[in-house]
Amino acid sequence: MTYSENNHQNRAAQSEQGIHTNFKENMTYGDYLQLDRILASQHRLSEHHDEMLFIIIHQVSELWMKLILHETQAAIGSIQGGDISTALKRLARVSKTQSQIIQAWDVLATMTPSEYLEFRDSLGQASGFQSYQYRMIEFAFGYKTSHVLKIYEKDEKLHEQLLEAYHAPSLYDAAIQQLAHHGFTINDDVLNRDYSIAYKEDDSVRQAWLEVYQNVDQYWDLYELAEKLVDIEDWLQQWRFRHMKTVERIIGFKIGTGGSSGVNYLKRVLDQRFFPELWDIRTHL
C-alpha cells in the first residue's frame, strides 16, 4: 500500500469515528422497523422456491396499499377542511406510490405457469380478491359494493372498520363538496347522498368541473385537485390492467383461488369509473 493510499484510509477512518456501534441499551435500525417480525413473516406452505417470490410481492403490495390509504384518508380530511394545497401534496404521494405498486407485477410476471402450479393448491381459497386494504382503497375512491363485506365477517373488528369506510364520504365526495363551497351549484341529492351507494355521474357536477377547466386561473386549486384525481384513477386502472395481464400470463382463464372468474372478472372491473365527470369534460372542452 502506498503512502497516499494509507493516508487516505486513515482520514476516512477518522472521519467516521462518530459512528455508533454499541447498541446494548439503544434502539437499532432493525428495532425501529421491527425487521425481526417483518422478515420472519414469509412462511411458505410448499417447498417450491418461487413461493417466496409470490409471498413477498403480495406483502410488499399490501404495505404500499397501507401508505395509499394513509395518504388518501389524510387528503380527504384536508379537502374537507378547505386545505387543498396540503391535499395536493398527499395525493401526489399516492400517485408515486401507485407507480411502485404497478411495477411489482413486472417482478411477479417472471414466474412461469409451471412454477406457479407447483404450489397453487397450497393457497386453498386464499386470494387477492380478499384484500381488505384494496377494498378500502376502492371505498375511499368512491366505489362501494356491499356484497364484498361478507368476506370479512370472520373478523368482527376488521368488519366494523370496513363498514365505517363503506359509509364514509369518498375522496370525490370531498372534492364535490369543495365545488359547492366555491359557489358552484351542485344538486342537493348529490351533496346529501347516501355515501354507501356508489357514486353516479351528475350533470351539475359535470358543469362545475367544466367551468373550472374553462377558468383555470380563477379556480387554480380546484383545477389542480381535479388533475390529481385523474392521475390517481389513471394509475389505478394501470394497476388493474397489469394485474389482469399478469394473471392471464400465469394462469390463463382458470377460476381464481378465491372463486372469482379470474381474468374475466379483472377485465370487467377495468370498466369501473371513479371520477366520471373529470373524464367526460375532456370531450366538451
Annotated binding site for substrate: 54-58, 116, 120, 257
Helix ranges, the chain (H): 3-15, 29-33, 35-38, 51-80, 84-108, 113-117, 132-141, 156-167, 171-181, 188-191, 203-214, 220-251, 263-269, 276-284
Q: List the binding residues for heme.
A: 243
Phi and psi at residue 235, to the nearest 5°: -65, -40
- Can you spell out the DSSP letters for 202-216? -HHHHHHHHHHHHST
Q: List the binding residues.
A: 54-58, 116, 120, 243, 257
How far does the chain reach from its first CA to its final CA, in angstroms? 71
Q: Give the span between the Cα atoms of 221 and 182, in whole angstroms.
A: 11
